[in-house]
Amino acid sequence: MKNIVLASALVLGGATGFATTPQTLFFHDGIMDEIFQEEFTEIQTNTLPNNITEAVNKHFTGASIQKAYVNELKEYKLELHLEGAFKTVYADKNGNWIDK
């Protein structure tokens, strides 16, 4: 009986010790680079490069740019309003479309 109580105490103590131990996170180089590239910051739509606005006008006739975002790689995330629906597209600084 003494052994059961002792074993229970050790199990409970070990479980709480595990729960409070900080875990070290390991990152692979490519994974962290990709995560940082995905962080977009909102910008004013009137500050978009001409290449971007021309590409939107050419490929999405009648669309209006509702919101614009940019990341560290100068990739742009655009929220377009087109025919009563919203569409999110991505472009590089030259106005080339990116699949994400």
Please name which of 67, 63, 99 lies closest in space to residue 83, comparing C-alpha atoms. Answer: 63
Write down the domain spans for the chain.
2-98
Q: pLDDT tens for residues 5-59? A: 555 555 655 555 444 444 445 455 555 544 545 689 999 999 999 999 999 999 9
Taking every pair of Cα atoms in the chain, the longest distance, rounded to a whole number of angstroms, is: 81
Q: Is 83 left (phi over 0), alpha (psi -120 to 50) or beta?
A: left
Q: CB under 8 Å to 74, separation ≥6 — which residues?
A: 92, 93
pTM: 0.62
Tell me the pLDDT band of 100, cut-offs 50, 70 and 90: confident
Inter-residue contact 90 to 97 (CB < 8 Å): yes
Q: Tokens 């962080």 map to which residue?
A: 39
**Per-residue pLDDT for 76 more than 80?**
yes
- Over residues 21-33, the pLDDT tens digits come to 444 454 555 555 4
The CATH code for residues 2-98 is 3.10.450.360
